[in-house]
């Protein structure tokens, strides 16, 4: 299947080029690359054998791809994904699904009616440390989980040193930017590890002098349907990357650093800490993400992160973003169905 699968990559920026390299390493040979910037197309085509280069999405569609990756700014995701789905093309959509819930249900219905594979890009679900933490939680080593402290952040101008952050989608409202949607992984991780949110109190704001028209800080407290409370924070402000979590349960505590790869577990029955470190290449999670997408296409099965999952995470993210105005009471939103 891999040898004969023609893959369209729409958007040849940093994440698009990463996926191209990884797909190539997994056996994909036939690429259609789409980007309005000729320089981006040239960079993305390096090392490939005769890829088709298109500066418009319409021209790329005319090449009849069998699968497609959408790596464009967030505001463009849904329209592209829907058009691909209607043509029966398997589609992988980089996070977030969109910057609006409008049209998400239609996309989910189209995917179901066409019987195609549609997968959300949530790479941290394939991160070795997160997967280890997930296994610990599933084994109930902590017993009942009471509360979680989860925080992360990075400095936006340092995110892509080769680019001017002011022109990137993350800093522009019209392209679906802002720290909440750009760092939506964190909210997806909360859902994946601990379950759905019942109620939340959140704040999102722009507090720095960075030149952008979107929020650069978001904080929240979530009460989950499971009874777990989560304190969460993310930002574009920290001059050194941070990504950490502390999980407190009736039988112990887990502390982990997802950048350093360290996992510390305190178990009451043993009365001591157990410390371990996973050594890994960060690209591993992206490779495994692409491997899962290709495997779902080959086997005709639903991905672990489908469109409905993407919709639920997006709904939570937009709830957080709705607090950006700071209007009293606006941020206290019940998500119970």
Pull the structure tokens for residue 337. 């169905």
**Share in percent of the chain as helix, strand, coil (round to 5):** 35, 25, 35
How many Å separate Cα 255 from the centre of its chain? 22
- Whole-angstrom distance, CA of residue 56 vs CA of residue 283: 29
pLDDT 10s digits, 262-273: 999 999 999 999
Res. 330 pLDDT band, cuts 50 70 90:
very low
Residue 326 binned pLDDT confidence (cut-offs 50, 70, 90): very low
Q: Which of 120-129, 159-168, 312-321 has the lowest mean pLDDT?
A: 159-168
Burial class (CB in 10 A: 0-12, 13-18, 19+), 58: exposed
Contact 315, 101 (CB under 8 A): yes
Are 248 and 148 spatial neighbours (Cβ–Cβ below 8 Å)?
yes
Q: pLDDT grade, residue 160 (50/70/90)?
A: confident
- State the pLDDT confidence band at 4, using cuts at 50, 70 and 90: confident
Mean pLDDT of the chain: 94
pLDDT of residue 1: 56
Query: Which residue(s) pair with 332 in the sheet?
Result: 201
Please tell me the predicted confidence (pLDDT) of residue 335.
40
Q: What is the pTM of this model?
A: 0.93
Distance CA 95, CA 286 (A): 13
Taking Cα atoms as reference points, which of 174, 1, 177, 16 lies closest to residue 90? 1
Q: How confident is the model at residue 161 (pLDDT cuts 50, 70, 90)?
A: confident
């Amino acid at each position: 299947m891999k040898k004969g699968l023609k893959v369209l990559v729409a958007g040849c920026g940093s994440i698009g080029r990463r996926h191209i390299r990884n797909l190539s390493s997994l056996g994909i040979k036939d690429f259609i690359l789409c980007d309005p910037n000729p320089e981006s197309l040239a960079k993305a085509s390096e090392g490939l054998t005769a890829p088709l280069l298109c500066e418009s999405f319409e021209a790329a569609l005319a090449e009849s791809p069998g699968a497609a990756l959408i790596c464009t700014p967030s505001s463009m995701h849904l329209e592209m994904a829907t058009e691909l789905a209607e043509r029966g093309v398997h589609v992988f959509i980089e996070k977030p699904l969109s910057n609006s819930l409008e049209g998400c249900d239609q996309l989910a219905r189209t995917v179901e009616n066409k019987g195609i594979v549609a997968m959300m890009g949530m790479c941290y679900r394939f991160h070795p440390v997160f997967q280890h933490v997930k296994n610990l939680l599933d084994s109930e080593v902590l017993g009942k989980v009471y509360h979680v402290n989860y925080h992360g952040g990075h400095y936006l101008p340092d995110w892509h040193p080769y680019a001017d952050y002011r022109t990137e989608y993350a800093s522009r409202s019209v392209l679906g930017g802002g720290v909440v949607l750009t760092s939506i992984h964190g909210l997806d991780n909360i859902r994946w590890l601990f379950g759905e949110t019942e109620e939340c109190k959140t704040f999102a704001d722009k507090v720095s002098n960075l030149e952008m028209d979107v929020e650069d800080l978001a904080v929240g407290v979530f009460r989950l349907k499971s009874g777990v409370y989560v304190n969460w924070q993310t930002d574009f402000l920290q001059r050194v990357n941070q990504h950490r979590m502390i999980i407190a349960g009736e039988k112990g505590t887990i502390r982990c650093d997802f950048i350093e790869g360290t996992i510390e577990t305190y178990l009451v029955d043993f009365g001591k800490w157990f410390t371990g470190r996973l050594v890994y290449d960060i690209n591993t999670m992206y490779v495994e993400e692409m491997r899962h997408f290709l495997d779902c296409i080959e086997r005709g099965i639903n991905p672990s992160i489908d469109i409905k999952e993407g919709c639920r995470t997006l709904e939570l993210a937009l709830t957080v973003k709705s607090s950006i105005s700071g209007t009293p009471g606006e941020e206290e939103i019940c998500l119970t169905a």
